[in-house]
Amino acid sequence: MTTKQLFKTILQADTTITAPVVEELVQWASQSGQRQRADYLLSKCGRELPGVISALNGQYPKDIGLLYLVFFNHVVLEPGQAMFIDAGTVHAYLSGDVIECMACSANVVRAGFTSKNQDVTTFSSMITYDFTQSKQFLLVPKDYKRSIFNAVASASNSTCVIYNPPVEEFGVIKTELKGKFATVTFEAIPGPSILICVNGGGLISVDSGRETLAVGKVFFVSSNVAYTLESLQDESCIIFTAL
């Protein structure tokens, strides 16, 4: 049986079959001192697997999703890192805060770790079953060329980088203005933008006026409109922009 066939079989199996297996998996994960028979599994999935299983079992007791973890890459993203998850790729966010940007779609199908509706039949038919190493999903940020810093921003090593996935629908810019009065101006582009401030504060300015930047505030910038961001605090002002 191939990995694809095995995963699809688990997805479609009756709970009377999967429930005892989930129970055994949870017990295995909790027995931290008795891993002799699990050496092969641990070598393939990483030493963090038992802890992840135990933590998620605490949130979703005996959930079928616990079985899926054996097939998944467990990825820990550090601040500033980003990854692209293609359509049809199974994924689950386990902890922490992320900025997620996606193409327009209402087609979110779930099959575990949720209190919302689950559609296993549709789920099993639409996913790619492409078992890829996690490092192939990572995106390398590049300097965003359509931005101009003032002298304060340049002197403080402020940054403006773009994460460009291998699709045309969207990209994400991360701007970090370091220090009070650091400023960056963005050239007008032929498409709208959505901004969110996640740290610090300051001002966003366009020809028609300006608004206060603060944590949690979201702004929409129309097509072909240039705008300026300015930090008014000593701590870094961090803004993410979806293009």
DSSP 48: T
Considering all CA atoms of the chain, what is the largest pairwise distance in Å, rounded to the nearest integer? 68
* 110 tagged catalytic: yes
- From the candidates 35, 110, 146, 210, give the one annotated as an active-site residue: 110
User: Per residue of the chain (243 residues), what is the pLDDT tens digit?
Assistant: 788 888 889 988 999 999 999 999 999 888 864 554 445 455 444 567 888 888 899 999 999 999 998 888 888 899 999 999 988 888 888 888 999 999 887 667 888 888 888 888 888 888 887 777 777 889 999 999 999 999 999 999 999 999 999 999 999 999 999 999 999 999 999 999 999 999 999 999 999 899 999 999 999 999 999 999 999 999 999 999 999
CB 41 within 8 A of CB 66: no
Q: Helix or strand or coil: residue 153?
A: helix
Give DSSP secondary structure letters for 52-72: HHHHHHHHSTT-THHHHGGGS
Name, in order, each residue with C-beta under 8 angstroms of 14's C-beta and a sequence gap of 6 or more.
none
CB 50 within 8 A of CB 27: no
Phi/psi class of residue 224: alpha, beta or left (left: φ > 0; alpha: ψ in -120 to 50)? left
CB 13 within 8 A of CB 124: no
Domain boundaries, given as residue ranges, for the chain:
3-137, 142-242
* pLDDT score of 36: 44
Fold of 142-242: Jelly Rolls (2.60.120)
